[in-house]
Structure 1
């Protein structure tokens, strides 16, 4: 039996006036000076709120940039996610670990306990940033990284936000790393996805996209049932050596049977076919549809079942248990019920996917 994971305690210190300003103007993205103490080592940092709708929640999520020392464990920045709407506090980590297990490059993450100016702020998920250091740590070649920041990151010529023709094919993306000329490569990719004839698409899409990685990413969305994962909650990377694009997951707390508001989501809510233009075109092609079907079958057999997932869930719960009562934003009674709800979701989703594999024939 695995031992509980040690949850580190982070001490964040912010000038009270700065902290007051941060809470008063939640849409201000200007970073504030602060210090973060981790295992008795002090770091001078720039601190800002992170996220979109999550800024409105009482428990804030933070973006941390290190400047003295300039790095922490080899990274320049981290994200501290409050996981406010997830009653279990583990869905995001469970998802990102699952993506890694099925062959998708995924951010490292771990739970921490955060104190802000010596007061308990609660359990957070520390997330690795998807940036140049992310690529270097995995031995991936250099290349631009684009964050999908809204529904316009749908691989389409049409906006998912206002349902009109896009004025720019980079709408929905923010370039996290790379050069301005890298935008042209992203535009070219999206244009080709939308304009190639079917016979051209089958023969030539592998010149633009790492197809196996994308189909595994698609499978990850389908198993975890992240409704937003097709047009949001991902980072898009282009390998400069091969020219191929690859997708990395990001922000996967609305999963395993819960939506972005923490409400119950039926196990059959997200179709096995997914959506967005790139997915539709790949699954319209016999060869790639069969490849996707085989990936789903293998994951059902190897990773998406109770014997594989239950020990991971139980270990996270055992590790977090001593800190739940110290989290001022958590309902312990509700938290205790969540593992069974996740187990029930796994069983229901397994049944749904297993019985719908035939539509990929």
Structure 2
């Protein structure tokens, strides 16, 4: 396969013994050594499986850490997602690109074709890691980054998982970059969200949160209908200069009319006012609620439209279709792949109608 046709070709080579070790227990995070050939370069890397429930899929997702050299194209590591449950294989990238379009900092992503020891593994989505290299690439100040790893990242004092009072305000988060002091900043942020009086909230929250960026992110979740988006599937970045938290989307394959299992999702399933404690408190403030409504209305007019999204969807689907036909896990489902543009465009039409009907809730 000629890697210059459309997609970069990633050739992964793993010692058969190490590969057996990797497959022996899919839940072990210990990496194994490998060699990656890409774009004429030979790279020594470590690989491991990534994700939670997705590890059970036949087509695995991987994390690749560069070993020699330590970085490739300015990154220490990248993620290779199989996008196994998404019949289109494009929803994650389509979502990240959409977030970028509406003014939300998002990971870069591109499709690649992966082979493992000479055997085709198929179309994958290479996703940029949200880390210090992510910040450097965007000329953003140094700062702490936390990953929201489960439903307890709901900005509440109450656990989303067991409905009990949290034993720690850091539940639901893993720190990716930061110090012990940054743990305290996160705890202070969540404490302020939950204890600041209604009268003081508008004035106080801007000390801790980039409100405009959060509202734009919120709109992105609402447009794409990422059901887990409000309590999961994001990273928090605390800007070292402004000392405000910002939010970065992550894991958006279950969107644009499909749920986490790839099943059809009703266009009205995710409510226009979202959910989680921080969102509820922001929308309780007249100015923020009006600002959020304005963001929705602007994008309903210009970005979240069939006319705007159709060429983007078509381009992504057309660019990977020849490679889907070579994907051992997807080539037998090419008819489903070809139908996905209809699913996504019908979702956009139905979601627009739902959101326009529900705008009154933001009056």
Normalised by the length of structure 2, the TM-score is 0.97
Summarize the alignment of residues 41-52 of structure 1 with structure 2, pairs less than 5 Å apart: 41-52=41-52
Residues 186-220 of structure 1, C-alpha deviation per residue, up to 9 Å, x if partnerless? 00000000000001111111111000000000000
* Greater alpha carbon shift after TM alignment, 350-359 vs 263-272: 350-359
Which consecutive unaligned segments of at least 5 residues does structure 2 have? none
**Match in the other structure for 1:228:** 228
How far 1:180 moved relative to its partner? 2.0
Q: Secondary structure at the match of 1:227?
A: coil
Q: How many residues align?
A: 358
Residues 160-192 of structure 1, C-alpha deviation per residue, up to 9 Å, x if partnerless? 111111111011000011112210000000000
Structure 2 CA distance, aligned partners of 1:332 and 1:22? Answer: 30
**Match in the other structure for 2:140:** 140
Summarize the alignment of residues 231-270 of structure 1 with structure 2, pairs less than 5 Å apart: 231-270=231-270
How far 1:151 moved relative to its partner? 0.3
**Match in the other structure for 1:168:** 168
**Match in the other structure for 1:205:** 205
How far 1:5 moved relative to its partner? 8.1
**Match in the other structure for 2:154:** 154
Which consecutive unaligned segments of at least 5 residues does structure 1 have? none
How far 1:24 moved relative to its partner? 2.1
**Match in the other structure for 2:218:** 218
Q: Is the 8 A contact 1:5 1:319 kept in 2?
A: no
Structure 2 CA distance, aligned partners of 1:262 and 1:16? Answer: 33
**Match in the other structure for 1:128:** 128
**Match in the other structure for 2:196:** 196
Q: Is the 8 A contact 1:5 1:316 kept in 2?
A: no
Q: Secondary structure at the match of 1:329?
A: coil
How far 1:159 moved relative to its partner? 0.6
Structure 2 CA distance, aligned partners of 1:255 and 1:152? Answer: 21
Normalised by the length of structure 1, the TM-score is 0.98
Residues 290-321 of structure 1, C-alpha deviation per residue, up to 9 Å, x if partnerless? 00000000111111011111001101111111
Q: Is the 8 A contact 1:5 1:315 kept in 2?
A: no
1:354 aligns with 2:356: yes
Alignment RMSD (CA, Å): 1.0
Q: Which runs of 4+ in 1 moved over 6 A?
A: none
Structure 2 CA distance, aligned partners of 1:141 and 1:294? Answer: 29
Structure 1 CA distance, aligned partners of 2:243 and 2:218? Answer: 20
How far 1:39 moved relative to its partner? 1.4
**Match in the other structure for 1:19:** 19
Residues 77-126 of structure 1, C-alpha deviation per residue, up to 9 Å, x if partnerless? 10000000000000000000000000000000000000011100010000
How far 1:333 moved relative to its partner? 1.1
Q: Is the 8 A contact 1:8 1:113 kept in 2?
A: yes
Summarize the alignment of residues 279-298 of structure 1 with structure 2, pairs less than 5 Å apart: 279-298=279-298
